[in-house]
Structure 1
Amino acid sequence: MKKILALTDYKDNFGSKHLDQPYRSGMDKGKLEQYFNSYGFQVTFSKFSEIDWQSESLKDNIVIYTSSEDPKYFYKDFIEDIILALQLSNIQVVPSYQYLRANNNKVFMELLRNVELPNQFCQLKTIQLGVLEDVKSHAKNIKYPVVIKASRGALGSKIYLAKNENDLVKKIKKASKTFYIKDYLWDLGRSYKHKGYLKNSIYRKKFIIQEFIPDLEKDWKVLIFGDRYFILTRYNRKNDFRASGSKTNYKAGTQSEYTYQILDFAKQVFEYLDIPHVSLDIAFDGQQYYLLEMQGIYFGTSTINMSDAYFVFENNQWIPKEINIDLEKIYTDSIINFLSK
């Protein structure tokens, strides 16, 4: 029997699941074990901290794992260390490390988009920066209004619209501020003691500056698990340009104001990514589709709960199918589908 090592967090939780019980406990590990066993896979659950790095049998496993949205992402940083080490040990991790790195990391997500996707999915002009001071070298190429996104943040938080250069600096300061009084005073002392010393920036949280798409009223979130596509329409907040996290007039499944072209676009993106499942945010301005964001692990699954159906592409057409299986089955099938490629 093939072996899967499923890595859980320090709370012994695995994955992200809407309406899980207890709250924020993730997927049902018993169901996952049952479903994987039905495909001939033996699953062992283990915390990241419990990996036996000296075990010769470690390389016999395919590794699946959870991520984390802990405050400040300290624990996620630890998870990244573990997954990268496993991948460098030539152990198959699903998804591969770069998708974990891009999870709730908009800077790397944009870099990954440019690396893994062709230009047709990279239409939005985006600048990735690590400090406020670096904006100066790009100032001549910025056309207003523009969107500023802190690298970390979900549900539309830490996303701002800048209407001019002064507004840009103001919004970037909100997104990137790293002022710590002790560090600042220590650095100030260096500047007095050492002639010519340049003080550290106090705006060092990385961020992106992204082209603004005008007149959008809504976007679509598409969750893809293998060959199953779940879709949700999200309207913008009132007097706002953001749809993510708005909870405004959400419509899911067959009620989602979907078009086959949106599903086609999502399918094209997914086929370029070496991944079993993904969450895509897609916009349409009346002329072309835009990929706004993508997440390959530990994304929200409420779209599934809100949907009356998912879509599959069969016989060159999109067909809605009633949802009669749980998330654990959907997740398992996507992993098996990926491993069988």
Structure 2
Amino acid sequence: MLAIHQRDNSYSAGWIRYCIENNISYKVVDCFSNDIVEQVKDCDAVLWHFHHGKRADMSAAPRVLRALEHSGVKVFPNRNTSWYFDDKAAQKYLFDALEIPSINTHVFYDVQSAKEWLDTAQYPLVFKSSSGAGSSGVKLVNTKKKASKQAKRSIVHGVSSLNKASIFRDVLSWSFFKNNTLKKYITTCALLILPRSFFQAPSNETGVAIFQEYIPDNDSDVRIIVIGDKAFGIRRFVRSNDFRASGSGKVSYDVSNISKETVRLSFLIADKLDSDCCAIDFIYSGDRPRVVEVSYGFSVDAYKNCAGYWNRDLVFVTDSVDPCGWMIENVRLG
């Protein structure tokens, strides 16, 4: 039996649908319950799509899932899939340790070290908060003065991964209206008005500043998702007069523009990470794919129009794409 923690706008609806369609025994559980360990004693695996933007999720999920994993229960996501989730500083060290071709990233924990490096850095640079998705908390800094100010603010006072100015620009864009529901529009607008605590958003991060090399001339990035022996992906175009692609809502499903080298590298990275589900963001330096970030979490709806997937022989198979079903099968076979 599978235990599924149910949450709106998560994998849980797809998991439950797949279980029903394939006569797989499951039950819905509340992973925040004090007796969650007792609740899942009759289960073979526990699945919880916890959200990076919810403070309660990010606090409880690692504790609950790691405890269950230690006891021998299969979990999704497992530790190798999720310990670096929504942590760009951790990902920098991970990419370095595993020699994964990635964007040059510099992490600082004190202001003086940051300023000494910024004295010799080449500009512009990309500043990032350690957490945050959809390009929130990402900005281009063009001068040493601005970068030093950003580093001090980040390390001493903290920065928010919820960038309201960026959200406001996205809401005004045509691509946002075109690619989102009325409910998503209203919820996003609420982020501009309601306090962060209403959304259980994480507190401002302090003590760390992250700068990445800026790679010019990229009008899009490529997101490849690897689940088991299948990979699928899209191109995401940058916002107007911007360099950021994630969260733009401007997407292409034409796989002819995604190189087999990018797909091959995606399988290699997923294997190195030993990940159950690996969403990898690439940009290009010339024709070389370089990793920007990785995550286990993504919006399933954004990929429902994918025409198929690549297998490990890098052959594209025209077929329906069912990420949630593939996750279930991997958990059951793993």
Distance change (3 Å), C-alpha of 1:317 and 1:78: closer
Identical amino acids, percent of aligned pairs: 19
- Which stretch of the first structure deviates more once superposed, 136-145 or 238-247? 136-145
Q: Does 1:322 align with 2:325?
A: no
Q: Does 1:13 align with 2:11?
A: no
Query: Which whole-Å CA distance do the structure 2 matches of 1:65 and 1:301 have between them?
Result: 15
Query: Which whole-Å CA distance do the structure 1 matches of 2:303 and 2:243 have between them?
Result: 25
Aligned partner of 1:187 in structure 2 is none
Alpha-carbon distance, 1:306 to partner? 2.9
- Which stretch of the first structure deviates more once superposed, 130-139 or 300-309? 130-139
Please give the TM-score of this superposition, normalised by the length of structure 1: 0.72
Alpha-carbon distance, 1:51 to partner? 5.9
Aligned partner of 1:161 in structure 2 is 140
Query: Which whole-Å CA distance do the structure 2 matches of 1:332 and 1:29 have between them?
Result: 7
Alpha-carbon distance, 1:153 to partner? 1.4
Q: Does 1:332 align with 2:328?
A: yes
Query: Which whole-Å CA distance do the structure 2 matches of 1:232 and 1:64 have between them?
Result: 26
Distance change (3 Å), C-alpha of 1:113 and 1:213: same
Aligned partner of 1:75 in structure 2 is 57
After superposition, residues 27-38 of structure 1 pair within 5 angstroms as: 27-28=13-14, 30-34=16-20, 37-38=23-24
Aligned partner of 1:147 in structure 2 is 126
Please give the TM-score of this superposition, normalised by the length of structure 2: 0.74
**Contact 2:227/2:323 (CA < 8 Å) preserved in 1?**
no
Aligned partner of 1:212 in structure 2 is 214
Q: Deviations over 1:119-138 (max 9, x none)?
A: 2x244221223454541353
- Give the aligned CA root-mean-square deviation in angstroms: 3.2
Distance change (3 Å), C-alpha of 1:32 and 1:45: farther
Query: Which whole-Å CA distance do the structure 1 matches of 2:268 and 2:73 have between them?
Result: 28
Query: Which whole-Å CA distance do the structure 2 matches of 1:328 and 1:87 have between them?
Result: 21
Residue type of the alignment partner of 2:317: P
Provide structure 1 residue ranges, at least 5 long, that are not aligned to the other structure: 18-25, 181-201
Q: Deviations over 1:105-163 (max 9, x none)?
A: 22222233334x3x2x2442212234545413534563322211101211111111222
Query: Which whole-Å CA distance do the structure 1 matches of 2:78 and 2:52 have between them?
Result: 18
Q: Secondary structure of 2:309's match?
A: strand
Residue type of the alignment partner of 1:219: D
**Contact 1:5/1:45 (CA < 8 Å) preserved in 2?**
yes
Query: Which whole-Å CA distance do the structure 1 matches of 2:95 and 2:43 have between them?
Result: 31
Query: Which whole-Å CA distance do the structure 1 matches of 2:14 and 2:3 have between them?
Result: 16
Among 229, 232, 235, the alignment partner of 1:230 is 232
Larger Rg: 1
Residue type of the alignment partner of 1:128: V
Query: Which whole-Å CA distance do the structure 1 matches of 2:96 and 2:116 have between them?
Result: 21
Alpha-carbon distance, 1:52 to partner? 3.7
Query: Which whole-Å CA distance do the structure 2 matches of 1:289 and 1:327 have between them?
Result: 24
Q: Which has the higher strand share?
A: 1
Query: Which whole-Å CA distance do the structure 2 matches of 1:111 and 1:35 have between them?
Result: 41
Distance change (3 Å), C-alpha of 1:62 and 1:331: closer
Q: Does 1:304 align with 2:303?
A: yes
Residue type of the alignment partner of 1:77: S
Alpha-carbon distance, 1:206 to partner? 3.3
Query: Which whole-Å CA distance do the structure 1 matches of 2:14 and 2:33 have between them?
Result: 20
Residue type of the alignment partner of 2:93: L
Aligned partner of 1:197 in structure 2 is none
Among 77, 88, 107, the alignment partner of 1:128 is 107
Distance change (3 Å), C-alpha of 1:156 and 1:175: farther
Q: Does 1:270 align with 2:270?
A: yes
Alpha-carbon distance, 1:93 to partner? 2.8
Q: Deviations over 1:268-320 (max 9, x none)?
A: 21221212211110122224210111102x3222342232222224xx44223
- Number of equivalenced pairs: 290
**Contact 2:74/2:331 (CA < 8 Å) preserved in 1?**
no
- Which stretch of the first structure deviates more once superposed, 28-37 or 79-88? 28-37
Q: Secondary structure of 1:103's match?
A: coil
**Contact 1:173/1:203 (CA < 8 Å) preserved in 2?**
no
Q: Does 1:106 align with 2:100?
A: no
**Contact 1:218/1:243 (CA < 8 Å) preserved in 2?**
yes
Q: Does 1:93 align with 2:93?
A: no
- Which stretch of the first structure deviates more once superposed, 135-144 or 49-58? 49-58
Query: Which whole-Å CA distance do the structure 1 matches of 2:223 and 2:46 have between them?
Result: 27
Alpha-carbon distance, 1:251 to partner? 0.6
Query: Which whole-Å CA distance do the structure 2 matches of 1:299 and 1:139 have between them?
Result: 33
Query: Which whole-Å CA distance do the structure 2 matches of 1:56 and 1:333 have between them?
Result: 22
Query: Which whole-Å CA distance do the structure 1 matches of 2:156 and 2:22 have between them?
Result: 45
Q: Secondary structure of 2:266's match?
A: helix
Among 48, 71, 87, the alignment partner of 1:65 is 48
Residue type of the alignment partner of 2:92: E
Q: Deviations over 1:180-238 (max 9, x none)?
A: 9xxxxxxxxxxxxxxxxxxxxx9825342112212222210112222222211122222
Aligned partner of 1:290 in structure 2 is 290
